[in-house]
Amino acid sequence: MENEYKNVYVFAEQRNGVIQNVAYELLGKANDLAAELGQKVIALLLGDGITDKAQDLIEMGADEVVVVDRPELKDYLTEQYTQAMSQIIDHCHPRIVLFGATTIGRDLAPRLACRVKSGLVADCTKLTIEPDKDGNLDFFSTRPAFGGNLMATIVCPTSRPQMSTVRPGVMQKRTREVGRKGVIQPFTPTFDPSKFKVRLLETKMNDNKVADISNAKILISGGRGVHDKEGFAKLQALADVMGGMVSSSRAMVDAGVMDHAYQVGQTGKTVRPNLYMACGISGAIQHLAGMEESHYIVAINKDKYAPIFSVADLGIVGDLHKIVPMLTERIKKELEK
């Protein structure tokens, strides 16, 4: 059985025809996994009028793209997508299928895993190919559990495909290879519309069209110590000077000071900017889970015992309300040089 299931597949999530970043990140990781296995990377592109996006996926790392271009797949709906995906799995026999751990991926993947009766691992932060106890190469998915307090490595020894959802922002996408050649394979599923019991009536895009903090190279992040909107204005001024963005801990989101879209952590976003400056953030484990992979971490906090200092490359014990505005002025001068 083992051998007829092969290749690493990526569900290339798109919304309104726009390929989501997490799909590129997964293609990047799938390349590592496929290389270890000596197999191919295959992207699954589902939607309506999306065939012309297939080349984009090839340039970002797919060797092949299976395209299901059908009006039934215009908007994401669980049953329509599950029918198409389960037929692809029955036909192609993937070894591994990866999904972004988004509201779409986390709705589709479990429905599909149960339909094809295979194992699924949620919200992974690390994927590896390693020898199992018999020396055969196997797929290992590692994920946080217990609110980020514990890591668990999960295997799916006998059933196929092995499926995982992966947090956006965790894997690295590859550099685009313009003009890269690959195979584009159309796939035509047979839909059973009698099972289509859910109809989309309306989609209301969020008003505050916020830029995605997971794309920022520099994040000036605020916690309880920032106190209020005026405090965040100080962080924003520093972020503006540095060309970065402001983000927030859960405490300030719960307090209604910041919108959920800016939240870093276990129940918010995972970020890995070049600079993460944590201002007045104590550093609960759930927060650290979302930012500790940042390249350089500066923490400013009044409490020298704050756990944030345990992950910071540079820790400053002091008052952010004084230091941040001074730092803003100082960096402004530095950049004018």
Partner 1 sequence: MNIIVCVKQVPDTTEIKIDPVKGTLIRDGVPSIMNPDDKGGLELALRMKETEGATVTVVSMGPPQADRMLREALAMGADRAILLSDRRFAGADTLATSYALAGCIRTLDYDLIIAGRQAIDGDTAQVAPEMAQHLDLPQVSYVIDAKKTANGFIVKKENEDCVQTLEVEGKCVLTVLASAFKARYMTVEGIIDAYKREVEVWTADQIDVEEEKLGLKGSPTKVHKSFPKALKEPGEVFELSEEEAVELIVSRLKEKHII
Shortest separation between residue 119's beta carbon and partner 1, angstroms: 3
Give the nearer residue to partner 1 in terms of CB position, either 176 or 333: 333
Of 169, 128, 213, the residue nearest 24 (C-alpha): 169
- Kindly provide the residue ranges of all beta strands, DSSP E only, lying in 36-115, ordered along the sequence: 41-47, 64-69, 96-100
Of 243, 225, 213, 241, the residue nearest 299 (C-alpha): 225
Shortest separation between residue 313's beta carbon and partner 1, angstroms: 4
Considering the rule CB under 8 A, would residue 78 count as an interface residue with partner 1?
Answer: yes
Contact (CB, 8 A) for 99 and 166: yes
Binding window for partner 1 (CB under 8 A); candidates: 28-36, 118-126, 170-178, 229-237: 118-126
Per-residue contact flags (x/-) with partner 1 for residues 155 to 174, judged by CB under 8 A: xxxxx---------------
Per-residue contact flags (x/-) with partner 1 for residues 185 to 224, judged by CB under 8 A: ----------x-xxxxxxxxxx-----------x------
Tokens standing for 174?
């590859």
Who contacts 253 (Cβ-Cβ below 8 Å, separation ≥6)? 259, 260, 262, 263, 268
Indicate which single residue of 10, 62, 96, 109 sits in contact with partner 1 (rule: CB under 8 A).
109
- Work out the angle at residue 189's Cα, subtended by the Cα atoms of residues 186 and 193, and round it to the nearest 5 degrees: 145
Q: How far apart are the first and last CA of the chain?
A: 65
Shortest separation between residue 187's beta carbon and partner 1, angstroms: 22
Give the nearer residue to partner 1 in terms of CB position, either 67 or 300: 300
Q: Which of residues 314-333 bind partner 1 (CB under 8 A)?
A: 314-319, 322-323, 326-327, 330-331
Contact (CB, 8 A) for 269 and 294: no
Binding window for partner 1 (CB under 8 A); candidates: 2-10, 50-58, 146-154, 176-184: 146-154
